[in-house]
Structure 1
Amino acid sequence: MERKHKRLATPWAAGVAGTVFAILTATAIVLVRIAMPSGVDGAQVTVDAGQRSAVRTALELIPFAGIAFLWFMGALREQAGEHEDKFVSTVFLGSGLVFVATLFGAAAAAWSVLDEGGQGSSFGRDVAYALLTTYAMRMAAVFVMTTTTIAHRLGVLPRPLTVVGYLAGLTLLVVGANVPWSELVFPAWVLVLSLNTLWSRRSTASRTTAST
């Protein structure tokens, strides 16, 4: 009975953690994009006090987003259980961990943007944008496609969401830094997946209660 209770609670944990990650990450990306709309092309633009405040707020959200994402990954892996494909699950785990590491690296590099008057922040800004839009998003693309593959094989993901997952993964893999705001595709996908997980759990619980 205790094992059954843990299994039933896992989708709830994945849904909540994924929702928290999506909201925090999307907020951080929006704040950074508003503060530095030109990206690396605007490296010579001085960052004023208001922009530094926005970037500082975004960077303070990143560690909590990373923690929520690790919790999200763990809950998803627990749902797969013994039916997981070892090859795909290894790529799933590796891409997720590298994504978090790269995200933290981008946040650390971005602290240089908070230099007084914005002087000397060019290098940090370039590195932060490269890590976020090129490397982190590529790892996010691999994570999206492997998660979609695992969920599809287990039959726990509706066909429309399977298609959306592969499209989101391809978008993140191909587009990268070429299209501003494309980074929001990843938290948006995580949010949709999390809400679907919570809704499925609620439907399952309702049917179980009704049958009882």
Structure 2
Amino acid sequence: MEHPQRHQQLRRLSTPRSAALAGVIFAVLFAASLVLLRSAIPDDPFAQIEWVSTGRARIGIALTLAPVAGTAFLWFIGVMRDSLGELEDRFFSSVFLGSGLLFLAMTAVSMAIAGAILMTAEEPGVTTNGLIYFGRSLMLQVSNVWGVRMAAVFMISLATIWFRTRLMPRWTAVVTYGVAATLLAVVSLSLWVTLVFPVWVCLVSVLLLPTRGRSPRRRTVSP
């Protein structure tokens, strides 16, 4: 006798329309995290380490928001892949996915270093000026040198996909190329530079929201 559950019809998974909001959520939370860190960390890399104590609350909130923002960014990557559907190209999609995951990894490492600075500062007799200076410099090198450039590669790969598939307006790809080139060329240890990326993600998400009701797999592909 066959089990009754075998007669149940399987359903194809589909991306919920609300998932397109993931980019907006990432942009808001990640930008808030960066602003909190920027307001707590001085511009001078050799400033007195009192900023660790005075900015502890802001840094702590930033470290709480960052993992949630990272999760939303993973959803954003999924939404972008789903929007491509059968138009997806293996080469550009590999670069797009790899650079996005590397950006997320660099951000996670940078935030972990910031958390380590806070924990180290709590231990009496352990904290030294040199240790705090090193941790701060390492955090900014990871996020603003490696992370920002991975974000730029992520943007370039997506812009190229948009040009070839016409999935997004042409001006969106042009603007994306321009912003990405700026991020690749500018070497800065200011956290304000990183804010460009969440602003771009928010813009793309807002433009993508009205199209979430249409299935990309049914679009006509022109030669």
- TM-score w.r.t. length of structure 2: 0.80
Letter in 2 for 1:74: G
Structure 2: gaps spanning 5 or more residues: 1-10, 216-223
Contact 2:151 2:197 in 1 (8 A): yes
What is the DSSP-based 3-state SS (H/G/I as helix, E as strand, rest coil) of the residue aligned with 1:38?
coil
What is the DSSP-based 3-state SS (H/G/I as helix, E as strand, rest coil) of the residue aligned with 2:14?
helix
Letter in 1 for 2:25: V
State how far apart, in whole Å, the 1-side matches of 2:157 and 2:42 are: 32
Instruction: Report the equivalent of 1:24.
Output: 29
Contact 1:113 1:122 in 2 (8 A): no
Letter in 2 for 1:150: I
What's the offset of the Cα at 1:44? 3.8
Assess, with a 3 A threshold, how the Cα gap between structure 1 residues 201 and 82 changes in structure 2: closer, same or farther: closer
Asked if 1:109 is matched to 2:113, the reply is yes
Alignment counterpart, residue 33 of structure 1, candidates 16, 30, 38: 38
**Between the two proteins, what is the percent identity of the paired residues?**
40
Q: CA RMSD in A?
A: 2.3
State how far apart, in whole Å, the 2-side matches of 1:164 and 1:79 are: 20
Name whichever of 73-82 and 134-143 sits farther off: 73-82
State how far apart, in whole Å, the 1-side matches of 2:191 and 2:182 are: 12
Instruction: Report the equivalent of 2:77.
Output: 73
Where does 1:25-174 land on structure 2 (aligned, <5 Å)?
25-38=30-43, 41-114=45-118, 115-116=121-122, 119=128, 120-174=131-185
Contact 2:159 2:176 in 1 (8 A): yes
Assess, with a 3 A threshold, how the Cα gap between structure 1 residues 85 and 105 changes in structure 2: closer, same or farther: same
Cα displacement string for residues 158-203 of structure 1 (whole angstroms, at most 9, x for unaligned residues): 122111111111111111326651111100000000001113447x
Contact 1:142 1:169 in 2 (8 A): yes
Looking at CA atoms only, which structure, 1 or 2, has the larger radius of gyration?
Answer: 2
Instruction: Report the equivalent of 2:14.
Output: 6
Structure 1: gaps spanning 5 or more residues: 206-212
State how far apart, in whole Å, the 1-side matches of 2:172 and 2:187 are: 22
- TM-score w.r.t. length of structure 1: 0.84
What's the offset of the Cα at 1:43? 4.8
How many residue pairs were aligned? Answer: 198
